[in-house]
Every structure is written in structure tokens, then in C-alpha cells.
Amino acid sequence: MDQANPLDFLNTVENVKYAKPSCYTRGALQSSQTAAEHMFRHAFICLLIPPLDGIDHDKLIIMALIHDITDFKSWDGMQNRKRFNMDYLACNLPAETAKHLQKYWTEY
């Protein structure tokens, strides 16, 4: 089995800064925002949520930062593409780190 290579993970994720968020649909008003800008903005929105009982801010920020992390490469079929891309990203991370990110990504 190949060893995890976090640098490959980071290099791949860097491509998200060129991708459009998957939430954009044909015919909808389009933004010039990339997937990376979209996730970054959501993370800051999460920071503005006041501390309330039952809200896990760490979880919110992690989910905001990874919810469109799989948009680095397009494939036919949205869900199949996203799952394939997440599996590819995960194989480049240490097992515990991959499991942690996959858990939040899947929940989102």
C-alpha cells in the first residue's frame, strides 16, 4: 500500500481555487467566486455565529472549509464525482486525518 503524502493532498486541493462551487446550477445567476472563495467565506460566516449552547463552532468551521473540497476536478455525475474525489484526497492523508475529514464531509 502506498504511503500517505499530505503534499499531494495540498497540491490537489490547491486546484479548488480555480473551480466553481458545485452549488452553481445551469441557468442560475452566476458569481465570479471560486469554490475556495466560497468555502473561505462560509468559514468566516461560521465565526460570526454567537456562542450558543449546542453549537459546535469547530465543527461548523471544518464543514465550511471542506464542504466543496471535492470540486477540484469535474466528472460525469455529481455525487459519483464528489465521492471519487474525496476518496482520492483521503488516500493522500494519514488514515486518522482522512477518517476525520471524511466524517465531516459525509455529514455535510
CA distance 54 to 66: 21
Has residue 25 got a pLDDT over 70? no
Nine cell digits for residue 6: 499530505
The mean predicted confidence, pLDDT, of the chain is 79
Residue range 31-59: mean pLDDT, rounded = 85
Q: pLDDT band at 45, cuts 50/70/90?
A: very high
- Look at 22-26, 30-34, 81-85 and tell me which has the smallest mean pLDDT: 22-26
Q: pLDDT band at 104, cuts 50/70/90?
A: confident
- Nearest alpha-carbon partner for 67 in 88, 41, 92, 48: 41
Q: What are phi and psi of 44, to 5 degrees?
A: -70, -35
Higher-confidence residue: 22 or 12? 12
Q: pLDDT band at 1, cuts 50/70/90?
A: very low
What predicted TM-score, i.e. pTM, was given to this entire model?
Answer: 0.69
CA distance 13 to 52: 32
